[in-house]
Amino acid sequence: MIGVGKSPVGKAPAGLGVPDAAPSNAGTSLVDANGVQQSTRLIDPVTGQYVIDERGRYVGVSAVAQRVQLALTTTVGSASVYTLGIDTPGGVIGNNFVSRRRATILQALAGLVKEKAIEVVDITIDASVRPIYTQVRWRDLTTEIEQTTQI
């Protein structure tokens, strides 16, 4: 006899009780916070997981924004694209730390700048607080929208 227990497969219900209900997943996936359909999934920079909305759908983000986030949150040499990421300056936080940090950020974004996908508008670094506050303002040259990424 094939099957599990006393009933062959297909002859008895699988499980007991009332099935669990989930919210409808109807609608457009990969929609950003403004309701605009995007091309890639938003990655939570803290958890590294895809962001899922209250209806169980993936939240979207533009491909350029995701590439900026990955460039600024990936440690160089740790991804399959060996040159992707940021080389975090180590050592003592001294007089030249801010300039070293700024240089590593510009290096991480150099490929996107070279291909004219983005333009770096401003880099704010506050080394007096822990963790060190770093914010990068950049412009998506495909949409002309200025955005901010905090690392």
Distance separating alpha carbons of residues 98 and 57, to the nearest angstrom: 39
| SS3 label, residue 122 | strand
Contact 75, 44 (CB under 8 A): no
Tell me, what's the pLDDT at 55? 84
pLDDT in tens, 49-99: 999 988 888 999 999 999 999 999 998 888 888 788 888 767 778 888 899
pLDDT in tens, 4-53: 555 555 555 566 666 666 555 566 788 888 888 898 999 998 898 999 98
Query: Domain boundaries in the chain?
Result: 62-150
- Asked if pLDDT for residue 115 goes beyond 60, the answer is yes
Distance separating alpha carbons of residues 57 and 45, to the nearest angstrom: 18
| SS3 label, residue 138 | strand
Tell me, what's the pLDDT at 82? 79
Q: Which residues of 95-113 are buried (b: 16+ CB within 10 A; e: fewer)?
A: eeebebbbebbeebbeebe
Task: For residue 119, give both structure tokens.
Answer: 């333009």
Strand partners, 40: 61
Tell me, what's the pLDDT at 96? 86
Would you state the CATH architecture of domain 62-150? Roll (3.10)
Tell me, what's the pLDDT at 1? 46
